[in-house]
Structure 1
């Protein structure tokens, strides 16, 4: 029986695990390897050459967008006998500056599509501030169907006033 008691004490002394010193060494090793990997990747030792500072500066300069101002629209809204008017003015952000003349030539058709859509909406829809995002998305979708998916990248509504 004395042997069993001695074996029990030995089992308690031989506890597995890294201990505090082992965990500290593991954390220091992980930080060193992470920092070394970051430095190797950033300096270009791994994954190709690092971009030159001139290349970084050229990438940071955004391309200047091209805008086309549409003629203002005055649309009667609110159904029969209504005297309410919607004043609408917008800009088109063009994807390709070279295609500005082509989109400008489509301006009468664009204004017709916009007027038809806005006239079909109810007055309560037009007066709802949350509906403006949906209206803008619908107008942009109709515009992209007319001019092509890559001709116009955005529609910027400047005036949307019901009087």
Structure 2
């Protein structure tokens, strides 16, 4: 038998215990909030009787653009022309009137860009893709509030 008595239990200060439990609680709440915003925890309406909002998917509308006939930049060689038929796809039917009102500016934009394009830039699929993307970017700037979703070339003739 020994005279040694068991060591008294280590007492943590009350303040440290309070800080650790408070920090743990905050961590759990932050993780739960992040999961809720991420959609891991489903959103509930709290039993309230709210009216369900139906989102009707509106089909995009195609707007026919007039034929564009422009001479290409040949650098002094034999003259080369391009004839382009295209359609513009807008997200909402209400935007068709705005597109029709800006048709002179759209045609000017097409002609100005095409006149600075060389014929060899349009011979492969990559060149046509670049043409489409460039014109789409310029159309977005011109028709700012109108949401242009696509530009479709229906006919492209290069002489």
For the aligned pair, the TM-score class normalised by the smaller chain equals 0.5 to 0.7
- Corresponding residue of 1:102: 98
Aligned-residue offset at 1:107: 0.7
Q: Does 1:80 align with 2:76?
A: yes
**What SS does the aligned partner of 1:159 have?**
strand
Which of 104, 127, 130 matches 1:131? 127
Unaligned runs of 5+ in 2: 1-40, 45-53
With normalisation by structure 1, the TM-score equals: 0.59
Which of 52, 59, 62 matches 1:67? 62
Number of aligned residue pairs: give it. 110
Q: For residues 96-125 of structure 1, what are the alpha-carbon distances to aligned partners after superposition, in whole Å with 9 as ceiling and x for unaligned?
A: 211210111101110110111011011111
Q: Which has the higher helix share?
A: 1
- Corresponding residue of 2:38: none
Q: Does 1:148 align with 2:148?
A: no
How many angstroms apart in 1 are the aligned matches of 2:129 and 2:77?
A: 28
Which of 146, 153, 159 matches 1:157? 153
Unaligned runs of 5+ in 1: 1-45, 50-57
Is the CA contact (8 Å cut-off) linking 1:95 and 1:153 kept in structure 2?
yes
The RMSD of aligned alpha carbons is 2.4
Aligned-residue offset at 1:150: 4.1
> Structure 1 stretches (4+) deviating beyond 4 angstroms?
none
Which of 86, 90, 103 matches 2:86? 90
